[in-house]
Amino acid sequence: MAEQSKNVKEQDVNQLLKVRREKLAELQANGKDPFQIVKFDVTHHSQEIKDAFEELEGKSVTIAGRMMSKRIMGKASFCNVQDLQGNIQSYVARDSIGVESYQDFKKMDIGDIVGITGEVFKTKTGEISIHASAVTLLSKSLQVLPEKFHGLTNTDLRYRQRYVDLIMNPEVKDTFIKRSKIISSIRKYLDGQGFMEVETPMLVANAGGAAARPFETHFNALDEDFKLRISLELYLKRLIVGGMERVYEIGRVFRNEGLDTRHNPEFTLMELYQAYTDYKGMMDLTENLYRHVAQEVLGTTVITYNGVEMDLGKPFERITMVDAVKKYAGVDFNEIHTLEEARAAAKEHHVEFEERHQKGDILSLFFEEFAEEHLIQPTFVMDHPIEISPLTKKKPENPEYTERFEFFMNGWEMANAYSELNDPIDQRERFKAQEALLAQGDEEANTTDEDFLNALEIGMPPTGGIGFGIDRMVMLLTDSAAIRDVLCFPTMKSMGAAKNEANNAAQSAPVEKTVEKAIAEVKETYDFSNVEVEPLFKDMVDFDTFSKSDFRAVKVKECEAVPKSKKLLKFVLDDGSGVDRVILSGIHDYYEPEFLVGKTLLAITNLPPRKMMGIDSCGMIISATHLVEGREGLNVLILDDKIPAGAKLY
């Protein structure tokens, strides 16, 4: 019965699309092709009219926007037009616009772009409206707008088709308007402080300035490999060497890493550098900048994110990383003097570390494990260990630590700042240490940049520098749950062949059906001729032992990359018990978290908890592995969605 209803609905939608094209053909045949209109003079927007009603009442205005509703009532009708600022009602009467124009108006569809000229008035119910004297069809919508375009089931489609999301969800448009205002406010503040905005290369031979894996590409004209920048730092410092004392750049950077609620492979970073100051000067600048932006854009310095208030008006807390770990983990690294002692403390507190990690790395792991989540109010975490700060000046009184801080709010790192290292000899040694880490398999380690070293040898003044994550700042100031909510067009997994089919199908299917149908029609074939699988086990397992493994169907409620891990994904699962189950699985090389949310997987649920990166993993996600030319392939076992959470496998 449900399938029959679905087919009827599809037929109805297809008929609507056909009618819209027939209407367009009729308009074109009558010399009224809306697509031949090249200009329309708009005098006001909807909110301007409402705000200045007393001044505009009885005066003629012209608006343009998308028709979102229409009520035909014989010789007079109402429609609602949505523009950049909001929406406004228009009263359209046959006697006011003429018989022919009124007939044309009645044939217009929801979603059409229209221009309306008329007098401003207020209806008997008190609604500010426009009494139309002319209605012009400016663009014909050939698709059917969805009745509802939000909620979990449509999240993926919202991000892929942001243009529809903006039309249907006013709060989404408001977020991006605020984003623009935030960036404008940042520029205004920095310009007022004597900073100069500059631009530096995106294609670079050496991607340095941050701990991240770059994207690589090939430049045909020079027959040379290049990387997309992961940071703005090294070029901006070159400008400081050249005598440009205060510089900043707001631009895209690219990091070949995972996707989660706070990470996108391309994001907006702002870095600024100021000669003749240090990291304490950067703290003062950060505090003042955040207050200025919040006050100018939101009208307050008290912001609320996910129900939690954060006060930007109060002095920001300042704490060293050592003191933060002592406060929240109860471990005093002032009393830990050797690598062996640091490793012993890590084992005692179940902090996972790698063989290559030094004492300072382990301190950082303690901070991430125990302290970060508590830093809700604005906090500067100062004096990071030298092992994790390759571009930062050492503290003169304690060279194991550097003049560096990270700015935290809501438990998130919001900015990273240094007293910049300007000693070329020290910098070369730091690069050598990074090269050694690279050789040990750390794909995020920096490589030596000889031209940057040459610039330092020319001479760079004492300098303070900082990098701000603009997207996270926008998330906090707009109360947005995920980074994708503040990126107009976030990075999405390619739909492959479905993309072309979707484009072709767009001529005969509505927005949501186009994508769904295209995905359903993609057919893949697999060549297993060169696949190797592990030999079957010959040792027998008795039935009683095997039956004690509790295999269950689980629904993926949440999935995200584990910070500081290249392989681990953290799953929050519905296992049918009513209590969320957390399982970590090392499959990030094969799957992005977004793909797995909502899927039904297979897991063993009665294994004892196992610490992984300091998180209890309570079970095991089941995958199938194989080899192709010596490289491992992996496929998570994804079950039919009809199987309920908690269903037991026999």
- pLDDT tens-digit readout, 472-518: 999 999 999 999 999 999 998 876 544 444 444 444 444 444 444 43
pLDDT at 345: 96
| Beta strand 86-93 pairing with 128-139 | parallel
| pLDDT tops 70 at residue 373 | yes
| Backbone torsion region of residue 307, taken as left when φ is above 0, otherwise alpha when ψ lies between -120 and 50, otherwise beta | left
3-state secondary structure of 52: coil
DSSP state, residue 553: E
pLDDT at 511: 46
* Residue 397 annotated as binding site: no
* Residue 199 annotated as binding site: no
- Label residues 492-503 b or e (16+ Cβ within 10 Å = b): eeebeebeebbe
| pLDDT tops 60 at residue 27 | yes
| Beta strand 463-469 pairing with 620-621 | unpaired
pLDDT at 18: 93
The per-residue DSSP string of 71-119 comes to EEETTEEEEEEEETTEEEEEEEEHHHH-HHHHHHHHH--TT-EEEEEEE
pLDDT band at 527 (very low <50, low <70, confident <90, very high): low
pLDDT at 430: 85
Round to whole Å and give the CA distance between 252 and 260: 18
| pLDDT tops 70 at residue 396 | yes
Round to whole Å and give the CA distance between 355 and 342: 12
| pLDDT tops 70 at residue 149 | no
pLDDT band at 116 (very low <50, low <70, confident <90, very high): very high
What pairs with residue 635 in β-bridges? 624
pLDDT band at 634 (very low <50, low <70, confident <90, very high): confident
| pLDDT tops 80 at residue 263 | yes
Share of the chain above pLDDT 70, in %: 91
| pLDDT tops 60 at residue 443 | yes
Which residues have a Cβ under 8 Å from the Cβ of 356 and sit 6 or more positions away?
437, 440, 441, 442
Q: Worst-scoring range by mean pLDDT, 67-81, 232-246, 588-602?
A: 588-602
- Closest to 93 in 3D by CA, of 71, 113, 114, 75: 75
Q: Worst-scoring range by mean pLDDT, 3-17, 368-382, 415-429, 471-485?
A: 3-17
How many CA atoms are closer than 13 Å to the CA of 431, on its beta-carbon side?
A: 18
Round to whole Å and give the CA distance between 34 and 139: 5
| pLDDT tops 50 at residue 153 | no
- Closest to 209 in 3D by CA, of 3, 433, 446: 446
pLDDT at 542: 81
